[in-house]
Amino acid sequence: MKVSVSWLKNLVEINNDINELAEKLSMTGFEVESLEDLSAQAKNVVIGFVDEITPHPNAEKLKVCTVDVGLAKKLSIVCGATNVKAGYHVLVAKVGAYLSSKSLKIKLSNLRGVESEGMICSLAELGIESSNEGIEILEDNETNIPPIGSNAIDYLGLNDTLIELAITANRPDGMSMVGIAREISTITNSKLTLPTLNYDEDFERFYPNIRDKETIGSECIYSLTYIDTIDNTGRINKSIYNKLSSLRQNCINPVVDITNYLMLEQGQPLHAFDADLLDNLVGRKVIPNDFGIRNGNEGESFVALDNKEYKLNENIKVITCNDFPIAIAGIIGGINSSVSSKTTRIWLEAAVFTPTSIRNSSREIGLRTDASSRYEKGISPYMTTAVSKRASQLISLELGGKIRSFHVNNEFKKRSINVDLRTEKINSVLGKLRCSDNNIFDKSSNIYRYLNKDEIEPLLKKLGCLLTSNSDGWNVEIPPYRSSDLTREIDLIEEIARLIGYDNFDSNMPDPLAPGVLTPPKLVERRLRNSFIHNGFQEIVTSSLVGPDNTDENAVLIKNPLLSETSRLRTNVWGEHLKILQRNVSFGSEGCWIFEIAKTYKKEEESFVETNLLAGALTGNKRFSKWGTASKQISLDYFEARGKLKQSLEVLGIEIIDKQITEIDLMHPGRTSELLVEGKSIGFFGQIHPSLSEKCDLIKETYLFNLDLDSLIKAATRKTNWTRIYKDYPTVPFMERDIALIHSKKYSSLEIINLIKKSGRPLLEKVELIDRYEGSSIPDDFVSQAFRIKYRDPKKTLVEEDINPIHEKIRRHLKEKIKADLRS
């Protein structure tokens, strides 16, 4: 929100330096983002008079102008504008002027053999929006021409400073010049001079065809004023023109300029419909009850004032006349009812729509306007009729219009807002003030006291509140312009604290609390993060909101998304992880290993399921040096990648078993394993499907893992795993035996290892696969594998007689249960 200091000075007495005022506004909640001196746009630009024009000797489209700028010598300026004429006043940028809007410094230059000593300017070249083509001719717009050679700043209305403010969602009154003026008056205790508004309820009730109750809620209003005999030719008066221009508002025609002026002044958007065009559209004379509000129809088109055609749907709210769409509610009007210089009769609309309906419509059509930004914050419906009356009076005064009728929808009921404010509650919430010996606020003092009634009442009156004292405090009547945000007792207390200054109150820290400690689940999570990072992974954080390209039928849809790209909650994380790998590889990274502790969401019947995941992806290799390494080795094989995940998970102290799985569509069917903890599946690890790696432009050796974090934490924090048990280090040696066998491929290595472990009790300590062979010397459905078995008795050194019976038992079970052919 930009505000003009010169306009503010018409509304409120400003005695502070602009920088000091900006600091005060920031400290009370209206953060100042920037200050802009508009006079810089026209520095060294003066009023000139064109004495004589001669053709350019070397260019047909150029003219050589002799211009008087109040100097002893007249300037010779080459100009290409078609509307330059002798005997008229113009704007001249002298040599040395800098046109900031064009980043152009005016220099003495030679144009096709003729020296040019400046530049005759258009308004656009000075950064002022204008519908006029060519240079600015002062006689076209002004009867009182400034003296020749005088600075053009005053003529252009640029003797001003713009303050850009960040308006928070809870202060819609700050979206107007009057609102900021009231704020300045409150914080500087200065005098206000505001336009008078008429709040009398002298209107007729009417019944617009409002089919969509979400757009006009119980706290909203829709009003129409019929005005005729308007002279909309010419230009709005200089005062309004300069105020609009200073805030970069394009002046279009007097009626539209007045509606924009009132929107900026009071914060209430207005829209004017050409009554003659509406009559032609409907085919008869329009009456108030012809107006209505409905949802757009699928496939319905609408041409707006920006000459763009918008496709409507049921999420877009439209204003209608006899069911013909004439505006998108609260956002933009239609070309079929637009006001022009030919307009003599109008229907002036003033309304308050629900913020949600405006946000939805704005998002659907991809357009946000000055009007919609105000509606989205939620403006007060109790100001609407008063602002509409002021606009009507200006149209009557400036353009000769006659106000024929004023209508308000029948459902609107004006009510006063009263809030009980207790002194005890104020002191309870805010605590004590720091003050000096003479009771003046002093944040460096060590003297404390509570606020008294004599200090509170002036603050509330500055806000425009009407107070009625009672035994507990006051009954406070809220002014219409603050009815949107001052609705509770705590809102008033916050205003009191804001105006006094939070730093003037004593700080009340809570009593010392017992120091916090991480719970076992949180400790496991921290250990996991650190372990992955130590093993070369990089932690990432991705958004839980995704777009419609996530076509999962169980996806949770957002009811009121800001963008279509964030319209639903994700059902997986691997999609975004692959995009991150692809981006890093495309930027030259040879390896990218990432992990994330994330949540996914899905809908199950009438409920929603949230899942905590430990997920990640790996592609390429990460080495500090390529010395001693084959130059073509740029990827990890399956076992190296699985080993990285294993190293990272070892910090949990739990056993994770791999089992081949082929049912996951996005994964390689022969290089994917299901991971089991305590006999239950917790997720998968594997290489992505070749078709997916090609689609994502990644190397084939790209791996994903997706693990249920809650299951991992539950297993890691189980008492038997969480409580560390220390054992004596074995002081006796172990004995090893190898078993080589040929067996059917239907038996996995895991099944064979489990069988060996079960048969080798109690002396078997460890068994591992050491060799695997498939080839022409072995039948197609068989495989040769070798296992190394380690035996140990913690109490004595083993001899052959101790392990032979157990070893033979293992061999016998392998023959009997999996029909293995033993080779050793």
pLDDT of 291 above 80: yes
Quickly count: other Cβ atoms within 10 Å of residue 608's Cβ.
Answer: 12
pLDDT of residue 510: 67
pLDDT of residue 720: 85
Residue 567's Cα: distance from chain center in Å? 13
The predicted-structure confidence for 438-471, as pLDDT tens digits, reads as follows: 556 555 667 788 888 888 999 999 888 999 999 9
The predicted-structure confidence for 208-226, as pLDDT tens digits, reads as follows: 888 877 778 777 899 999 9
* pLDDT > 90 fraction of the chain, expressed in percent and rounded: 63
630 or 684: which leads in pLDDT: 684
pLDDT of residue 500: 87
pLDDT band (50, 70, 90) for residue 514: confident
In angstroms, the CA 813 to CA 806 distance is 11
Give the pLDDT mean for 232-251.
87
Of the ranges 70-74, 223-227, 718-722, 807-811, which one carries the lowest mean pLDDT score?
718-722
Give the pLDDT mean for 553-575.
87
In angstroms, the CA 614 to CA 636 distance is 21
Q: Determine the 3-state secondary structure of 91 from DSSP.
A: strand
pLDDT band (50, 70, 90) for residue 101: confident
The predicted-structure confidence for 680-724, as pLDDT tens digits, reads as follows: 999 999 999 999 999 999 999 999 999 999 999 999 999 888 888
**CB distance 739 to 764 below 8 Å:** no
pLDDT of residue 710: 95
In angstroms, the CA 712 to CA 317 distance is 50
Q: Minimal CA–CA distance to 539: which of 598, 611, 585?
A: 598
- Region of residue 319 (left: phi > 0; alpha: psi -120 to 50; beta: else): beta
Per the prediction, the chain carries an average pLDDT of 90
- Predicted TM-score (pTM) of the model is 0.69
Give CA separation, 526 vs 392, 508, 520, 652, in Å: 66, 33, 10, 11
Residue 219 is classified by DSSP as T
In angstroms, the CA 343 to CA 272 distance is 10
pLDDT of residue 130: 74
Q: What is the 3-state secondary structure (H, E, C) of 607-645?
A: EEEEEEEEEEEEEECCCCCCCCCCCCCCCCCHHHHHHHH
pLDDT of residue 673: 94
pLDDT band (50, 70, 90) for residue 625: low
- Region of residue 229 (left: phi > 0; alpha: psi -120 to 50; beta: else): left
In angstroms, the CA 32 to CA 26 distance is 6
In angstroms, the CA 553 to CA 558 distance is 14
Give the pLDDT mean for 88-96.
94
Give CA separation, 761 vs 725, 751, 753, 800, 807, in Å: 21, 16, 13, 16, 10
**CB distance 108 to 115 below 8 Å:** yes
In angstroms, the CA 15 to CA 583 distance is 56
Q: Determine the 3-state secondary structure of 364 from DSSP.
A: helix
In angstroms, the CA 64 to CA 56 distance is 6
pLDDT of residue 199: 84
Q: Minimal CA–CA distance to 574: which of 436, 697, 446, 696?
A: 696
Q: Give the up-direction half-sphere exposure of residue 272: CA atoms within 13 A in the CB hemisphere.
A: 29
Longest dimension (CA), the chain: 126
pLDDT of residue 179: 92
Give the pLDDT mean for 409-416.
78
601 or 129: which leads in pLDDT: 601
In angstroms, the CA 661 to CA 676 distance is 12
pLDDT of residue 39: 85
Tokens of 769: 């696969």
In angstroms, the CA 689 to CA 702 distance is 9
pLDDT of residue 512: 67
pLDDT of residue 301: 93
658 or 143: which leads in pLDDT: 658
Q: Determine the 3-state secondary structure of 380 from DSSP.
A: coil
Give the pLDDT mean for 17-36.
90
Cβ within 8 Å of residue 137, ≥6 positions away: 83, 85, 88, 89, 90
pLDDT of residue 624: 62
The predicted-structure confidence for 177-202, as pLDDT tens digits, reads as follows: 999 999 999 989 899 999 998 888 88
* Burial of residue 60, with CB atoms counted within 10 A of its CB: 0-12 exposed, 13-18 middle, 19 or more buried: exposed
